[in-house]
Structure 1
Amino acid sequence: MFHFSKKLIVFRIVLIMLVLCVIPAGFTVFLVEDRICDAYHLQLVSGLSRCTYWTTGYVFDMSIYTPSLIAILLIYVIFGVKEFAYSFEAICCFFLVFLLYGLCAVLWAYVLQRRFEIAALSFVLISVGTFFVGIVASLTVMVIEQLMQKDPTLIAPHTICSIVFLLLPQYNLGMAIFRGSFVFQLIQIGENYLKELHRPDLVSSLPIPSLLEWNLMGKHCLCLIIHTFAAALTLFVLERQPFGFLRRWEQIRTQRLLESSKGVSDEDVIAENRKVDEIENAGDNPLIVKDLAKAYTRANLAVRNVSFAVDRGECFGLLGLNGAGKTTTFAMLTQKIRPGAGSVHIHGRSMVIGDRSSFDQVGYCPQFDALNMKLTTIENIELFARIRGIPETHIKP
């Protein structure tokens, strides 16, 4: 009976891990769509801060994840699944574990989605991948624990795996559930033993350990908290891109290609370069681009010494052949990518990556359809109007 219950617990762990891996992965679908169609970038250019974007998304996703946990635990209570709902304390502890896992799993999903360009593929691979990793790690430790009772040589591998797998949030979730369910098995064994002794009155005196003890759920809860901060820090670093040495290497590579490239011979280009060089007051022109260059590889320049100035109130675009560098130029002007060389001044201030205050009075129409397709035309207009800070009375009549 005990072995049957243990197998049933493992089966329930597999099911609950599957559910809790699918939910965070589902939140990446919108993020991938937003990033690939450049809607995210357009919102940043319009004045939305990265912190606001990710914080509001995180709060909204957790507001969906948390009721799902409550629904799962209510189902356990209604159907009498004692392993998870044998006491109010147990319900609260399992809710805490599920919530801590969600806090870090959602953030790690945000990090992982950056590697995908297809929303459906992101959902499938993140959900299946995290589930597979969690199940394999958890079952490995469970099986070794069972076998080392007869084979002491497995104690060392068990210790190593138990420590290394703490780096996986899914492992911490699976083992926390397993340890918590194991406490219920201890309670059942104690109750059955006292019944055989005809002393059921001593059931309340059984020395039942707390679920949050270090060797039960405690260390796994702490690891999940650490994972939450680690995921948040990773996302912050990836968004800010504070890799100065890479930036320096890119500048050196671009400069070498510029030195080896041929000079400009077109008269119109020379005239525009001369116009930019003669500008004394940068405030007279909302946008001044001087000697802008970018190299993606060691062999070719994507953009070579582009210089131009835009007058106040002027709407401008770029025309040219495919591969001329139009998309790359606008990507640098809107801070989507870092320039390899040159300077950009917006409203008299030098453009600094991460500082978008210069875009307050600049509008940007992207090359591709950077709109949220789940919103209507009016809703998209209202969204960007609010991001721009237009008063609500001017948005809706």
Structure 2
Amino acid sequence: MSNQPFPLTSAQKDLTNTQTSLNLALGFAFIPASVGAFVVLERETGSKHLQVISGVNFVSYWFSTWIWDILNYLVAATLSVLLIALFQVDSLISAEIFPWTCLCVLMYGISCTSFTYMLSFLFNSHTAAQNLLLIIYLFTGGILMIVTIILSILPSTKDLARNVLIYLFRILPNFCLADSLTNLITRQNPGLWLGVGCPFEGCEPYALVIAGYDLLYMGIGSIVWFAATLLLELAFATPKLRAFFQLRRIDVPREPGEPLDRQVQLEKERVQSGAADEEMVVLKGLRKVFAGRSGAPKVAVEDMYFGIPEGECFGYLGLNGAGKTTTMKMLTGEELATSGEATLGGFDIKTQQNQVRRLIGYCPQFDALIGTLTAREHLTLFARIKGMSERELHAYVDSLLDQLTLRPYADKQAFSFSGGTRRKLSLGLSLVGDPRCIFLDEPTTGVDPESRRCMWKLISSTMLGRAVILTTHSMEECEALCSRIGIMVNGRLVCLGSASQLKATHGYGYQFEVTFEASGDLERAHANLLAFLQKQFTGVRVEESVPTRPRARYRLPKGQKPISAIFRLVEDRRQ
């Protein structure tokens, strides 16, 4: 038995080739999804914010990103057109049609890239962006085209689909790609096109009803979507504009807090009087309220007043959640202040953010590095952003690598770095270009003691003539680097002064640690020691004293005996 089918009819060929256009639309949906994921990832990790703070103009950022994404797209587009030619889809690769096939594929890349940039502002997670954008482009491409074809066949919806819906659907780039390729394939089918004014032999490829409308929509749309992206970026990057477009302003009435420490009150009065207006960093009543997860708003920063002159390193000490990082984010424009104001170098952080960014270097709490760049490439990139000349660039980068002890990692990609190495590189990026004001948000977290000392030495040697704000959990770090320290609790600045002033004012006294002989009667030793200390001092605090352990720790009040007498007492009673 043998089977010899009849040749395919014109309609059957059109149907088979139309599947090609639908499959292309479904396949091309993956490209903008990956584009959107990378854009959101840079915003999610803070890499984009760090570049903008360092001096990247947002127009330059988006244009360079667009050019790179288009170049990447051209690789996939070229391979796709080659596959169409290899599989001999004649209705798309004939001499008359082939240039228009290429133009439709090219315009899709230009349009969908801009459209994806605009949609990227809807997402905060790059994984969610990739998944949802893929679904959007799958449904608005091949699947929506199938729906349109079905609606065009049904008598009750034919006019609606052809006269209204198709013009709305063409706003979507993926639909334009599927529609234009489908029209090019079927343009010589008289049954489809005689009713819209085409001759019996078919319309020209560039006719509006064939590829013309789709190309116009994609061309104009690419400009409109890119302009919308720039406007959204401008609104997000300018605190005053972002506040204007903010749909919901979250605030709570001020609650009377605990009485201010004397030094905090004096600093507040100094700032309010205008005596600190000429200093590099000035905060006047800065306040931030977040929407609470359980419904009740959370006051993260409350009425912050202080000024920092050039040449001073200000230590910001406090527990996690005290409001240190939030203050940094408000000063760099990443977060909007609920109320109050602040100036950097005399420029308002709300209205003059571009001028502010020229003054600051920023080391965020979470590393905002680009994983595929090496340490050398990071420093080179940010040095170029800061405007350093090529003649000095390589020597400057090598010098920074040596100061940061990053020479062994100079040509390794950042994603392979340990946490401590990433922190050292983040510190180096904040110092590039010698900014007048530096914000260091826990720069030594996760760094080994030896490297921490090197970083302290680098910070202290480079802070001359500039204002530095350093947040940390370590009093030792503040003592090593900071001339003035502010301690923050629950969003409030509760005390202020030098390390010695804080210890003298708020320190309880001395920490007294003892190790007993393990072979002795530990329970009796603990009891005898406590009784002895209580005879010598009034107000002894027991911090650690377990009768079965050979160690004990007490807090002794200051002022009752000089420290020399305490040491003499210990030596006399060692037994």
Q: Deviations over 1:364-393 (max 9, x none)?
A: 111111111111111111111111112222
TM-score (norm 1): 0.84
What is the aligned partner in structure 2 of residue 394 from structure 1? 392
5-14 vs 99-108, which moves further: 5-14
Indicate yes or no: 2:373 matched with 1:381: no
- Correspondence for 1:124: 131
Distance 1:217 1:305, change over 3 A: same
2:203 pairs with 1:209? yes
TM-score by length of 2: 0.60
CA distance in 2, matches of 1:246, 1:294: 17
Letter in 2 for 1:156: D
Shift of 1:18: 2.4
Supply the AA of the counterpart residue of 1:267.
R
Check conservation: 1:43, 1:384, Cα contact below 8 A: yes
Distance 1:377 1:249 in 2: 41
Q: Secondary structure at the match of 1:396?
A: helix
Deviation at 1:354, TM superposition (A): 6.5
Answering whether residue 343 of structure 2 is matched by residue 345 of structure 1, we say: yes
- Alignment CA distance shift 1:304-1:117 (3 Å): same
Q: Give the letter for the 1:50 counterpart.
A: F
RCO higher in structure (CA 8 A, sep ≥6): 1
- 5+ long unaligned stretches in structure 1: 188-204
Alignment correspondent of 1:265: 260
Runs (5+) with no aligned partner, structure 2: 1-7, 192-198, 236-240, 396-575
Question: What is the aligned partner in structure 1 of residue 231 from structure 2?
Answer: 237
Q: 2-side partners of 1:245 and 1:64: how far apart?
A: 37
Show the counterpart of 2:289.
295
Moved more, 53-62 or 304-313: 304-313
Indicate the percent of aligned positions where both proteins have the same amino acid.
25
CA contact (8 A) 2:117 2:226 kept: no
1:294 match: secondary structure: strand
Q: Is the 8 A contact 1:335 1:354 kept in 2?
A: no
Secondary structure at the counterpart of residue 361 of structure 2: coil
Aligned residues: 370
**Preserved contact between residue 22 and residue 145 of structure 2 (Cα < 8 Å):** no
Which one has the bigger helix percentage? Answer: 1
Q: Which amino acid aligns with 2:306?
A: F
Cα gap change, 1:109/1:249 in structure 2, threshold over 3 Å: closer, same or farther?
closer
Q: Matched residues in 2 for 1:83 and 1:238: separation?
A: 41
CA distance in 1, matches of 2:130, 2:310: 45
Letter in 2 for 1:172: C
Residue deviations 1:307-343 (CA, integer Å, cap 9, x gap): 1111213344532223222222111100112222111
- Residue 98 (structure 2) aligns with: 91
Larger Rg: 2
Judged with a 3 Å threshold, the aligned counterparts in structure 2 of structure 1 residues 361 and 186 are, in CA distance, closer, same or farther, namely same
Task: Provide the rounded CA distance (Å) in 1 between the counterparts of 2:307 and 2:247.
Answer: 27
Instruction: State the distance in 2 between where 1:301 and 1:237 align.
Output: 30
Q: Choose from 173, 177, 188 the match for 2:177.
A: 173
CA drift at 1:263: 6.5
Does structure 2 retain, via aligned residues, the 8 Å contact 1:65–1:102? yes
Q: Give the whole-Å Cα distance in 2 for the aligned partners of 1:218 and 1:395.
A: 50
CA distance in 2, matches of 1:247, 1:327: 22
Aligned pair in 2 of structure 1 residues 347, 206: CA closer, same or farther (>3 Å)? same
In structure 2, the CA distance between the partners of 1:213 and 1:351, relative to structure 1 (3 Å rule), is same
Q: Secondary structure at the match of 1:289?
A: strand
| Alignment of 1:156 onto 2:159 | yes
Cα deviation digits, residues 164-193 of structure 1 (max 9, x gap): 323322222211111111125569xxxxxx
- 1:18–1:39 Cα change, 3 Å: same
Alpha-carbon contact 2:285-2:340 (below 8 Å) kept:
yes
1:138 pairs with 135, 141, 145, which one? 145
